[in-house]
């Protein structure tokens, strides 16, 4: 049996799309499941669209997720080059072979002639097919055109009396009537290839056995199958997988719809998180980096395990019940017959649930390292020595289940800053009430100031507050909310006594004084 060889061939035109990454993952999984090889090829023939700087983010997405490649950029291999821009001689040689065999032709038709032919076909309500005028030119005219360099393209000659049939691994038997297919351009006038031609030359030359790709490429398949046959190559197994839709829609997930996604209830939370975190990290905003990109999830603090878990479940399932799966578990069970035909909807809420699970599986030391990276980049700390690691661990322990993403540590900035940034609405509600400031001041003077540093513990602080509330016949909650706002500035967070311990005795007393002074200044 021929060893399985799959490939993913991104065009370096921007950050790695989350849907494209799902396609790459399925290729990687099938190769690894079968003990085969996964090839990464860069389809950079469209020089007008490609951005050289875009390649590294694509490779970084693979590295971050832990998806290695056996042949390709940085690795090499026996079937290179692995950039289409470096394979021009191979495309020209293949085109010349088809021309020599009469399976392709140089088309000298002008754009005006082609437009007129299309208009006629439209008026006659029939499919557009090439008139093939160039096939009727005599040799003398062809020689003259060649000598004068008359503009032309090379077209593949579609056998119109043929039916193309493939057995798609996902969609089953699919047929196309070639009598309805126009002759595609396979080579531009400058000798550069077009996608349908280049991808066949590459896949055949790289001995790809399985072409696993998004279903929008299904329409390319009949022409590609014909080119395979004309080049004397065997067809690979095709598997056209469902496209990824935006949450709650049947429309393909697209970067072009970013403005609409901001109003999508599920995506909205993603954008807001990015708008909060990215400026602190010097990454711009959620327009520059957004939830359609793989890099977004890395930068926002998701775990590779969570993203891979979510991607694997987009159009593939082990059974009707199992949701949480590690990459090794998916790899062990991955088969093409488990891929569904229907579009697969990206569900940010489910992804967040996966993240919550996998974050909970991490040992504390790993959580500390991940959070410290964000604290350093945001300028909240300037070192990561043992003392700081211990303190960050204490903050993480206090946050508990609130720490879903590594970037969530930035919401605990109050424990790393000297100054408090108040939530104005919460400040007015919890501290600036007429009865609260004197009560808070009295609690500080009678109880907090009397507690030694050695007794500054959650248990002792709670006991003092409960005792004070009982003595003065006030609701403990009144003081708890006031203390939280005074010491952290925020209405939610870890338990208030955990907050007081993390802030420390001296800073707690200072912050209460500052909050009370602020109330006076605003009076």
The pLDDT, as a whole number, for residue 52 is 66
Distance CA 308, CA 355 (A): 10
Residue 316 is classified by DSSP as B
What mean pLDDT comes out for the span 258-263? Answer: 89
pLDDT tens digits, residue range 126-184? 999 999 999 999 999 999 999 999 999 999 999 999 999 999 999 999 999 999 999 99
pLDDT of residue 51: 59
Percentage of residues of the chain with pLDDT beyond 90: 89
Q: Is 428 a catalytic residue?
A: no
- Provide the H-helix boundaries in 186-293: 195-205, 221-230, 258-261, 265-281
Nearest C-alpha neighbor of 238 from the set 261, 255, 251, 222: 222
What's the distance, CA 79 to chain centroid?
29
249 in helix, strand or coil? coil
Residue of 1, 3, 7, 4 lying closest to 75 (CA atoms): 7
Contact criterion met (CB below 8 Å) for 242 and 315: yes
What would the DSSP string read from start to end of 461-478? HHHHHHHHHHHTT--HHH
pLDDT in tens, 178-230: 999 999 999 999 999 999 999 999 999 999 999 999 999 999 999 999 999 99
Residue 179 DSSP code: G
Q: Which class does domain 88-241 fall in?
A: alpha beta
Which one from 125, 150, 251, 255 is the annotated catalytic residue? 255
Instruction: State the pLDDT at residue 487.
Output: 97
Token match 């590609």: residue?
224
Task: Please state which CATH number belongs to domain 424-522.
Answer: 1.10.10.350
| CB atoms inside a 10 Å sphere around CB 263 | 9
CB 314 within 8 Å of CB 215: no
Please check whether residue 255 is in contact with residue 290, taking contact to mean a CB–CB distance below 8 angstroms.
Answer: yes
418: tokens are 């000297």
d(CA 380, CA 376): 6
Rounded to whole angstroms, the Cα distance separating 29 from 502 reads: 45
Tell whether residue 429 is among the known ligand binding residues. Answer: no
Please count the residues of the chain: 523
Q: In the beta sheet, which residues pair with residue 176?
A: 164
Q: Residues 69, 39: contact at Cβ < 8 Å?
A: yes
> What b/e sequence results for 368-379 when a residue is b if at least 16 CB atoms lie within 10 Å of its CB, and e otherwise?
bebbbbbbebbe
Are 205 and 305 in contact by the 8 Å Cβ rule? The answer is: no
């Amino acid at each position: 049996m021929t060893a399985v060889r799959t490939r993913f061939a991104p065009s370096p035109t921007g950050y790695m799309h989350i849907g494209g990454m799902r396609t790459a993952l399925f290729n990687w999984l099938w190769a690894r499941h079968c003990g085969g090889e996964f090839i990464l090829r860069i389809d950079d023939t469209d020089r007008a669209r490609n951005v050289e700087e875009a390649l590294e983010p694509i490779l970084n997405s693979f590295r971050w997720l832990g998806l290695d490649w056996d042949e390709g950029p940085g690795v090499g291999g026996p079937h290179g080059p692995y950039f289409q821009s470096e394979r021009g001689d191979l495309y020209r040689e293949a085109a010349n072979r088809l021309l020599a065999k009469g399976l392709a032709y140089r088309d000298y038709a002008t754009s005006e002639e082609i437009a007129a032919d299309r208009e006629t076909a439209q008026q006659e309500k029939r499919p557009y097919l090439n008139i093939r005028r160039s096939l009727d030119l005599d040799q003398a005219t062809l020689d003259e055109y060649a000598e004068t360099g008359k503009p032309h393209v090379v077209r593949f000659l579609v056998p119109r009396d043929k039916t193309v049939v493939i057995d798609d691994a996902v969609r089953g038997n699919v047929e196309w009537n070639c009598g309805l297919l126009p002759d595609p351009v396979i080579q531009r006038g400058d000798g550069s290839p077009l996608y349908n031609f280049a991808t066949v030359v590459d896949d055949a030359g790289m001995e790809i056995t399985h072409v696993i790709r998004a279903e929008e490429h299904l329409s390319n398949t009949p022409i590609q199958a014909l080119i395979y046959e004309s080049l004397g190559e065997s067809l690979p197994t095709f598997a056209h997988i469902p496209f990824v839709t935006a949450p709650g829609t049947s429309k393909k997930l697209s970067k072009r719809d970013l403005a609409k996604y901001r109003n999508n209830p599920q995506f909205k939370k993603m954008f807001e998180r990015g708008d909060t975190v990215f400026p602190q990290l010097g990454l711009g905003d959620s327009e520059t980096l957004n939830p359609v990109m793989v890099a977004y999830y890395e930068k926002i603090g998701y775990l590779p395990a969570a993203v891979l878990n979510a991607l694997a479940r987009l159009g593939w399932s082990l059974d009707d019940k199992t949701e949480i799966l590690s990459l090794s578990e998916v790899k062990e069970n991955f088969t093409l017959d488990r891929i569904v035909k229907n579009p697969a909807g990206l569900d940010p809420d489910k992804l967040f649930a996966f993240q919550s699970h996998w974050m909970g599986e991490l040992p504390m030391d790993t959580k500390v390292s991940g959070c410290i990276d964000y604290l350093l980049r945001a300028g909240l700390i300037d070192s990561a020595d043992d003392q700081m690691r211990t303190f960050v661990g204490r903050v993480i322990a206090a946050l508990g289940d609130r720490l879903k993403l590594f970037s969530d540590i930035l919401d605990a900035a109050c424990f790393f800053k000297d100054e408090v940034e108040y939530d104005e609405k919460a400040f007015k509600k919890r501290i600036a009430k007429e009865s609260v400031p004197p009560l808070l001041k009295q609690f500080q003077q009678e109880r907090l100031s009397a507690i030694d540093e050695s007794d500054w513990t959650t248990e002792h602080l709670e006991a003092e507050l409960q005792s004070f509330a009982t003595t003065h016949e006030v609701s403990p909650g009144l003081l708890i909310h006031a203390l939280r706002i005074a010491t952290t500035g925020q209405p939610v967070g870890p338990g208030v006594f955990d907050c007081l311990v993390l802030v420390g005795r001296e800073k707690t007393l200072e912050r209460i004084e500052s909050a009370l002074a602020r109330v006076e200044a605003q009076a």
